[in-house]
Structure 1
């Protein structure tokens, strides 16, 4: 059984494509990599900023890999920074190419016009979504679990109190509220559609789950909790049975 496919190294990674679970684990913001054909591989911001949550979801890739393994599920992870182009945004979203994020100006994006936007869409964003949809379509009863992380505190904002957030759309509340309660029953400080809204037109869940009627979860872990492999494994081991129980109780 193929565990990981490196042939698609540029826009995404696929892990365990042949695993049998109906779940597909996705990680839209897995890496801070900048392809060398984008501004010479340097967006013009400090190395410290490229290591922050503005460039990728810290710890999310490791959590997604370990969660997929624990659930015997396939996974797909992006392989380009969200600052290059955000795969969790629709093509017409004004934040697709961020020029300012959490106090940091992105110089390489300030002058990126329509032609550069189209180039990044064609080489990164669209291939990622084509691969995601292909994997989603492989199982007739596919469920999608999107893995993200959030920073404990945005600049100039109060600290966020949650350990974990469960996001869901008003268009599909079959799993989200039950997962919130299941997390709270475990004693985790859990945000319901916090720290972000659970519905964003054109995002990955909207495109690959809601549009097809696929059951879905979007899980946000506070990134300091999953910054190390040990933390990622701990939370994967915690989450896998809770996700399975939540789906089983829903009878979907």
Structure 2
């Protein structure tokens, strides 16, 4: 076993039927990789992790008693929210930053990062979802948390939060309605499209028919302790209400907009 765990599982009640995921929770790197040739300042940017998400997930788990899985490596090392055959799995350039430690990269090193970090994280996600399904005797509701930058290429993003999804609307529609009822500006598949073949939601929920949604929060909304507390207080009752819906604990496979399974 290597000395840098690729994931952390926050314990919770698996019978609750709710599982929370954080693919880009941290900006950590194993010591052997140094800083991948980047300045230290790169690791405070969105290219390294999803700012504010780790603390938000911890707060939600404390409030709800739900289990969660968090990655413990920077997306600059390898991106757990990409399929194994995705060319952006290991980024050579990220938002204008050249990553010297990723280019050139040998096939052996590519495979090593898959086997040491990417696959163990997804194995942990699969085990946690399976434990919830077994304990509750029904499909769990899976919620993935991410964050996005307040602006992109000089253009401000108006959405305070967003819900990303492929074609399964079951958790998405009530979640969007709940967030909009709070008077928030919420993106529906904005600023990104949630249909991404091989990503975490595709791999663990779309192909298995598990109800799910991916929530993106704008990073300035959860950039400090006050913002994180605010969003925990917003989301915890919403997720609790969603989780109490029987229709969000049934298996049903929807065709993906990315093509056939």
TM-score, normalising length: structure 1? 0.91
CA drift of 1:127 comes to: 0.5
In the other structure, the counterpart of 1:132 is 125
Q: Indicate conservation of the 8 Å contact 2:36/2:101, yes or no.
A: yes
Is 1:30 the counterpart of 2:25 in the alignment?
yes
In the other structure, the counterpart of 2:62 is 69
1:105 & 1:185 partners in 2: Cα distance? 42
In the other structure, the counterpart of 2:84 is 91
In the other structure, the counterpart of 1:114 is 107
Q: Indicate conservation of the 8 Å contact 1:22/1:139, yes or no.
A: yes
Q: Indicate conservation of the 8 Å contact 1:53/1:150, yes or no.
A: yes
Q: Indicate conservation of the 8 Å contact 1:88/1:203, yes or no.
A: yes
Q: Indicate conservation of the 8 Å contact 2:17/2:243, yes or no.
A: no
Residues 166-220 of structure 1 show CA distances to partners (whole Å, capped at 9, x for unaligned) of 11112x1111122112211111110001111011000001111111111101100
Is 1:192 the counterpart of 2:185 in the alignment?
no
1:17 & 1:181 partners in 2: Cα distance? 27
Residues 134-153 of structure 1 show CA distances to partners (whole Å, capped at 9, x for unaligned) of 00001222111001001111
Partner-residue secondary structure (3-state), 1:135: helix
Once the two structures are superposed, the pairs formed by residues 4-19 of structure 1 within 5 Å of their partners are: 10-18=5-13
Structure 2: 5+ residue runs without aligned partners? 134-138, 249-261
Structure 1: 5+ residue runs without aligned partners? 1-6
Q: Call closer, same or farther: CA 1:116–1:9 in 2, change over 3 Å.
A: closer
Q: Indicate conservation of the 8 Å contact 1:85/1:125, yes or no.
A: yes
Q: CA RMSD in A?
A: 1.7
Once the two structures are superposed, the pairs formed by residues 79-228 of structure 1 within 5 Å of their partners are: 79-140=72-133, 141-154=139-152, 156-170=153-167, 172-228=168-224
Residues 193-250 of structure 1 show CA distances to partners (whole Å, capped at 9, x for unaligned) of 1111011000001111111111101100111111222321210111111223344457
TM-score, normalising length: structure 2? 0.88
Residues 108-134 of structure 1 show CA distances to partners (whole Å, capped at 9, x for unaligned) of 111112111100011100100001100
In the other structure, the counterpart of 1:4 is none
Q: Indicate conservation of the 8 Å contact 2:78/2:113, yes or no.
A: yes
Partner-residue secondary structure (3-state), 2:8: strand
Moved over 2 A (4+): 17-20, 243-252
1:205 & 1:8 partners in 2: Cα distance? 28
